[in-house]
């Protein structure tokens, strides 16, 4: 098999507790789980085109955009990373119509075991996808709010007690310090009752979701692969976790190279 085209972050789904991945490349979506154990080659064809306007760019900014789009699109604003800084209510959103559709949807605050336990937020319709993208082995929704700004308020309050970031190297080595998520949920919610009342958050009563990843072998040492330094990368696909391909020669963060034109060969 040989396919060429611009790639984007892998699509994810959860079926009976198992994580599944598809790699968008051009007009195709490749079942990456089916390539587990095979030798694959990914070759960078020295072309990056903006995911929004299509223009050629020397660098991919924030998930596949050229610099003019990066500084003009609301989806590239700092409030995407820090939703508590949402400024839609001030009338300064770069794309008000887009902001209405993206930032004012039911949003879930969750706990997840990645390397250590962390707090995170995600659109209610994307909970499983978000957990897989972060490499969580288990996760628990704890609150639901009406907007990303409200979820940011909750997350900031919780960050006084729990991290909001993942040690990605430990996550890829499957070195996970598991926490009792229901017990932690009860403890944390009792600490942020004011923020829960302020945002009108709904307490959720879901069960813990456990996630299995398609991995034959986890790396003992994490070596990052980079198309900007090595245009052709070839190795046996030993696993997939988060947005990373785990090859026998190192790990490749597919999201980092969104909008790169690649050729995939098996």
Convert the chain into a string of H (helix), E (strand) and C (coil): CEEEEEECCCEEEEECCEEEEEEEECCEEEECHHHCCCEEEEEEEEEEECCCCCCECCCCECCCECHHHHCCCHHHCHHHHCHHHCCHHHCCCCCHHHHHHHHCCCEEEEEEECCCEEEEEEEHHHHHHHHHHCCCCEEEEEEEECCHHHHHHHHHHHCCCCCCCCCHHHHHCCCCCCCCHHHHHHHHHCCCHHHHHHHCCEECCCCCEECECCECCCCCCCCECCCCCCCEEEEEEEEEECCEEEECCEEEECHHHCCEEEEEEC
pTM above 0.75, yes or no: yes
pLDDT one digit per residue (tens) for the chain, 266 residues: 999 999 999 999 999 999 999 999 999 999 999 999 999 999 999 999 999 999 999 999 988 999 999 999 999 999 999 999 999 999 999 999 999 999 999 999 999 999 999 999 999 999 999 999 999 999 999 999 999 999 999 999 999 999 999 999 999 999 999 999 999 999 999 999 999 999 999 999 999 999 999 999 999 999 999 999 999 999 999 999 999 999 999 999 999 999 999 999 99
């Amino acid at each position: 098999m040989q396919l060429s085209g611009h790639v984007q972050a892998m699509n994810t789904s959860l079926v009976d507790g198992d994580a599944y991945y598809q790699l968008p490349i051009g007009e195709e979506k490749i079942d990456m789980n089916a390539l587990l154990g095979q030798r694959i080659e990914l070759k960078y064809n020295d072309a990056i085109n903006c995911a929004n306007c299509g223009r050629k760019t020397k660098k991919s900014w924030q998930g596949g955009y050229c610099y003019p789009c990066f500084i003009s699109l609301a989806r590239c604003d700092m409030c995407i990373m820090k939703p508590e800084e949402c400024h839609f209510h001030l009338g300064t959103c770069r794309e008000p119509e887009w902001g209405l559709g993206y930032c004012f949807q039911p949003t879930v605050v969750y706990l997840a075991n990645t390397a250590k336990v962390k707090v995170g937020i995600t659109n209610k319709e994307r909970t499983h996808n978000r957990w897989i993208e972060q490499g969580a082995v288990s996760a628990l929704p704890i609150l639901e709010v009406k907007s990303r700004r409200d979820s940011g308020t909750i997350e900031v309050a919780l960050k006084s007690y729990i991290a909001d970031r993942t040690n990605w190297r430990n996550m890829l080595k499957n070195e996970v310090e598991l926490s009792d998520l229901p017990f932690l949920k009860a403890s944390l919610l009792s600490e942020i009752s004011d923020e829960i009342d302020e945002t009108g958050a709904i307490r959720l009563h879901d069960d813990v979701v456990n996630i299995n990843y398609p991995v034959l072998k986890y790396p003992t040492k994490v070596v990052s692969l980079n198309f900007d330094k090595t245009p052709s990368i070839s190795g046996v696909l030993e696993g997939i976790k988060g947005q990373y391909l785990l090859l026998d020669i190192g790990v490749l963060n597919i999201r980092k190279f969104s909008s790169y034109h690649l050729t995939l060969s098996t």
